[in-house]
Amino acid sequence: MGWKLSGGPLNFQAVYYGSRCLLQHNNPYSATEVDRVYRSEGGYSQSAEAWQHRDMTLYVNTPATLLVVAPFAMLPLSAAQWLWTVLNAASLILAAFLMWDLGADYAPVLSGCLVGFLLANCENVFAGGNTAGIVTGLCIVSAWCLLRDRFVPTGIMCMALSLVIKPHEAGLVWLFFLLAGGVNRRRAVQTAILAAILMLPAVLWVSHVAPSWMDDWSSNLAAISAPGGINDPRPTSVTNITADNVISLQAVFSIFSDNPRIYNLASYLVGGVPLLLWAITALRSRFSARLAWLALAAVVPLTMLVTYHRVHDAKLLLLMVPACVMLWAEGGAIGRTATLLTAAVFALTADIPLAILCEFSQRLHLSTAALSGQILTVLLVRPDQEILIATGIFFLWFYMRQSQAWGNPAGPREAEHALVNPSGPGRSRA
């Protein structure tokens, strides 16, 4: 959500002051106690908007995030912000390099253009200091390690950290390894155990300081999604005046109905059916590196749609690069379509194009009172959700098709290529 008016990344300051609150033996999930710490340390600005102040004091991150941020919270704010920004940038740059490296043997220029464009549109991540940058980087590094069968303990650690900080970001990537079976499932279970071990001390610490923290956490989550909250997906909310808008399907269906029960249910149904098909396919398929990257290319855009996500979370789309360049190198209509959709989804979830679109849409003054205005709003103001679901369904269709061919003994066999480590993990089925 951008920079605090008095200077500094607002999202990072929210977790920073939450951790500072816990370090001072106060309840980080109590807005009153966080506000007291925030004001006492000079964080309050009279010029701050009301939503900015709510963002600072309503702590909604996991207890494990408090533990991760605690070493930064022991430092002065200026030093902590600088180190956090460096860590954010390093995490995403490493992830981008690994995805480029996987695609370079197929189409180095196309691979470089995709990752370069995404890195050039990380303003919201770096300016806001959101944990999404680090979580996305960790998740992508983990996928590279596990699928290439290199630095596996590092991959397990990275996935566990990403799960405990933002489970809705990395959860479906982890689920793929669980469904893939064989050694992949064993590593997914090891990751889950490590995540539980990392989460346990954080939960015990918070529970000791604030026994009622779970109720407070639930109240905070409800408050930020309520009408007027910073995560309210409806067209009248504050989220629609920023480029870092909500990209989940709730933002589309809320245009037609402002009833949360209706737009949430519609989002779960429309986004949930493709995810169910994806999970069944992953569970029943024989493992191969080719199918693994296709599976990730399908699930990453779909995971953005069902649960709450913002533009800064879409950097996880980097996981689509290997599958895209692989299909591009194979040529044909499939390769061209995959590349066109991937380029479009990168462009329509990028910070700079969305900032331009946000400015343009505010000048349109579209009314959502009539059906025609609602449809125009979806088409002109919310193209990111449309391209996400189109891309996800395309890659899901191709993943299901390739899965059936790979499972057929008479079907095509996977060639040796850079995306697969010949000695890597897998499973076979009779």
Q: What is the DSSP string of 229-275?
A: STT--STTSGGGGSSS-B-STHHHHHHH---HHHHHHHHHHHHHHHH
Q: Does residue 3 sit in helix, strand or coil?
A: strand
Q: Are 383 and 251 in contact (CB under 8 A)?
A: no
Here the tokens at position 218 are 């639930």
Band of residue 238 on the pLDDT scale cut at 50, 70, 90: low
User: How far apart (Å, rounded) are the C-alpha atoms in residues 411 and 281?
Assistant: 17
C-alpha radius of gyration, the chain, whole number: 22
* Dihedral angle of Cα 92, 98, 100, 102, to the nearest 10 degrees: -150
Residue range 176-189: mean pLDDT, rounded:
95
Residue range 140-148: mean pLDDT, rounded:
96
Looking at residue 45, its pLDDT comes to 55
Looking at residue 409, its pLDDT comes to 42
Residue range 201-215: mean pLDDT, rounded:
95
Nearest to 30 by CA among 62, 60, 73, 71: 60
* Dihedral angle of Cα 285, 286, 291, 294, to the nearest 10 degrees: 20
Question: Helices (DSSP H) in 58-151: which residue ranges?
Answer: 63-73, 77-103, 108-119, 123-128, 132-148
Residue 137 one-letter amino acid:
G
- Record the pTM: 0.89
Looking at residue 338, its pLDDT comes to 96
Looking at residue 383, its pLDDT comes to 84
Q: How many CB atoms lie within 10 A of CB 273?
A: 11
List phi, psi (to 5°) of 384.
-65, -40
Q: How many CB atoms lie within 10 A of CB 215?
A: 11
Cα angle 313-173-269, degrees, rounded to a multiple of 5:
75
Q: What are the distances in angstroms from CA 210 to CA 27, 136, 195, 216?
A: 5, 30, 22, 9
Here the tokens at position 206 are 């918070």
Answer yes or no: is pLDDT of 48 > 60.
no
Burial class (CB in 10 A: 0-12, 13-18, 19+), 429: exposed
**CB contact burial 126-146 (16+ within 10 A = b; e otherwise):** bbbbbbbbbbbbbbbbbbbbb
Residue range 397-408: mean pLDDT, rounded:
83
Provide, rounded to the nearest whole percent, the portion of the chain with pLDDT above 70. 87
User: How far apart (Å, rounded) are the C-alpha atoms in residues 390 and 286?
Assistant: 26
Nearest to 294 by CA among 213, 400, 192: 400
Of the segments 123-137, 185-199, 397-411, which one has the largest average pLDDT value?
Answer: 185-199
Q: What are the distances in angstroms from CA 99 to CA 80, 82, 117, 155, 255?
A: 29, 26, 13, 15, 36
Q: What is the pLDDT of residues 303-355, one digit of tens each?
A: 999 888 888 899 999 999 999 999 999 989 999 999 999 999 999 999 888 88
Q: What are the distances in angstroms from CA 399 to CA 55, 280, 340, 395?
A: 40, 12, 17, 6
Looking at residue 50, its pLDDT comes to 56
Average pLDDT, the chain: 86
Answer yes or no: is pLDDT of 8 > 70.
no
Tokens 């920079």 -> residue = 3
Q: Which residues contact 8 (CB under 8 A, 6 or more apart)?
A: 77, 78, 81, 129
Here the tokens at position 133 are 């940058």
Residue range 409-423: mean pLDDT, rounded:
42
**CB contact burial 47-65 (16+ within 10 A = b; e otherwise):** ebeebbbbbbbbbbbbbbb
Band of residue 197 on the pLDDT scale cut at 50, 70, 90: very high
Looking at residue 222, its pLDDT comes to 86
User: How far apart (Å, rounded) are the C-alpha atoms in residues 264 and 384?
Assistant: 18
Residue range 9-37: mean pLDDT, rounded:
90
User: How far apart (Å, rounded) are the C-alpha atoms in residues 246 and 381?
Assistant: 12
Residues in the chain: 430
Question: Helices (DSSP H) in 285-415: which residue ranges?
Answer: 289-306, 321-330, 332-348, 351-364, 371-381, 383-407
Cα separation of the two ends of the chain: 51
Residue range 59-74: mean pLDDT, rounded:
94
